[in-house]
Chains A and B, each alone.
Chain A
């Protein structure tokens, strides 16, 4: 564990590193070399800490956009209100709309508007303050020129936010400096976030062609001789060569893929870092292994991978997402009824009603479509008929229906006839059956009387007595 003064040194070095990273240096190569060395040292000596740093980095990259927007809005609310800040607020909200509607690429495009606006505001503010704070201002020509203007000009200046600041001028100007610097810093962060999302993944199946190396994953990997370093002897030199050939072809194919997709590029520095890390820890041997580990590193930064990892929560999230608009609607309704009876909430309610109307029509059409498909499926044997029906006119369909009605009528009549016949037949059967039953009864009674007689004879009972 390092001492306290060493920690201070580390912190200073880190801040220096951060500064270089943001503003750039004259000697970029040396900076990269030193940073790679430092990262390697950190990885080897304190892997836990490095892991923690990685996790913090992930959290930072995914909360940076939303944090930026909240910071802007909170600062705008806290500082003295003016027309300049009102425009900032509207601009930030519009950018939020762009980000949510079209994604980060569009946001990066329009973010420059905010940078330019904040830069101009900062420059104007500084110029105005320097002008007003100077002791010669009261006797200057500029003052005399503005005095000749109408009186409401001053009020308009106040509304815009051009006010002479009192003692702590730095503190008053600080929000504008923060706005500008935030806009500048975040533009770079968006770029890195986009790069992470755009990185593509390559598996062995992609590299070797369609499932050429799939056998490796199907069987137990430890039992494969060509991949087991312990079994490498002179007699296995053939397999050595084979492996090298496979390795080289795979490498070539990967290079081709990488060249085809520029978003999947990795710089040499990162290569070297990862290679050294996995070489030192003794887990990687070949270039493909290194590339694979690099992919794992690239993959775990992805938002989609994180979503894939929480697959168990998907059903719950699905239900919440499906019915979230109802929550929004109820909130708007409650605010409209209990907070304020105003045009804003009325318009909001109207928008939602129109949306629900469109939604209901869409749903109805979809249901009708589904119904038609289901009916056609039922009439699978008459698939051609179903297709023909689509080509028919309404009148033809009507006549068809009439014919179907007539046919069903005829069928009903036939059925009735059949039923009548059946009834007659069953009546006949009943008569026949009853006759049979009576005959059998008679037979049974005859048998019984005979048996009784026989028993009487056996036991020697005399009837006459």
Chain B
């Protein structure tokens, strides 16, 4: 009787498996897929990262140039210095520089105190580009090159041993 029951259960399980075969996956398969997915996920975002980096770098060059110009142009001075611009245009230019955030006034604080965020941004952008290059191919250190290095190191070991033997 028990045998009969077991057969029943087996048949039942088989029908179930047939039904759900499309959805049954082992843990190993899922993990393998996940790891291969993760290996590429950061390379997918490289394009957008490069775009952001390039645009920010151009913005920084323009911004730092404007800041540097305002540091010696002294547009705020209502003094005897004769400029090619009228008072109205001077005020407008000053407003534009101030509005753009690229106005450095050395009456209150030093140049460095007003401009340090731009330089911090520059350092971070350099590091960001290095990070991108690292993700791309680790500065060109790919599998073939590593194999070559290992071969050359092996050769070196061989010659060292040879030299030791010669001295004896």
Contacts and interface: CB of A to CB of B under 8 A. Distances in A.
B167 A282 contact: yes
A154 B82 contact: yes
Contacts, number: 211
A358 B45 CA distance: 9
Nearest to B132: A321
A304 B41 contact: no
A151 interface: yes
Interface stretch (A33-41, A177-185, A239-247, A332-340): A332-340
A43 interface: no
A81 B165 contact: no
Interface residues of B, number: 85
B109 interface: no
Contact of B59 (A150, A307, A344): A344
B48 interface: yes
B94 interface: no
B40 interface: yes
B124 A331 contact: yes
A355 interface: yes
B91 interface: no
B61 A90 contact: yes
A93 B67 CA distance: 14
Contacts of A155: 81-84
A39 B112 CA distance: 46
Contacts of A90: 61, 64-65
B8 A422 contact: yes
Interface string A288-314: 010011011001000111011000001
Given A344-B100, A362-B44, A156 B55 contact: no
Interface in A259-316: 282-285, 289, 292-293, 295-296, 299, 303-305, 307-308, 314
A229 interface: yes
Contact of A325 (B8, B40, B57, B128): B128
Given A93-B60, A366-B40, A378-B22, A331 B121 contact: yes
Interface string B97-113: 01111100000000110
A356 B48 contact: yes
A111 B51 CA distance: 24
Interface in B126-155: 126-132, 134-135, 138-141, 145-146, 148-149, 151-152, 154-155
Contact of B48 (A85, A359, A379): A359
A285 B165 CA distance: 13
B106 to A, nearest CB: 10
B41 A366 contact: yes
Contact of A204 (B57, B81, B155): B155
Contacts of A89: 64-65, 68
Interface string A406-436: 0000010001001000100100010001000
Interface class of chain B by DSSP = helix
Contact of A342 (B33, B65, B101): B101
A117 interface: no
Nearest to A216: B158
A81 B52 contact: no
Interface string B30-52: 00010001001110110111011
A152 B84 contact: yes
Nearest 5 CB-CB pairings of A with B: A342-B101, A355-B52, A81-B72, A321-B131, A359-B48
Interface of B: 1, 5, 8, 12, 15, 19, 22, 25, 29, 33, 37, 40-42, 44-45, 47-49, 51-52, 54-61, 63-65, 68-69, 71-73, 81-84, 98-102, 111-112, 117, 120-122, 124-132, 134-135, 138-141, 145-146, 148-149, 151-152, 154-156, 158-163, 165-167
Interface of A: 76-77, 80-83, 85-86, 89-90, 93-94, 96-97, 100-101, 150-152, 154-156, 159, 201, 203-205, 216-217, 221-222, 227-230, 282-285, 289, 292-293, 295-296, 299, 303-305, 307-308, 314, 317-318, 320-322, 324-325, 327-328, 331-332, 335, 339-345, 347-348, 351-352, 354-356, 358-359, 362-363, 366-367, 370, 374, 377-379, 411, 415, 418, 422, 425, 429, 433
Given A230-B165, A282-B166, A305-B149, 13 more contacts: A77-B112, A85-B68, A86-B69, A155-B83, A221-B158, A283-B159, A285-B166, A292-B155, A322-B131, A348-B59, A358-B47, A366-B44, A433-B1
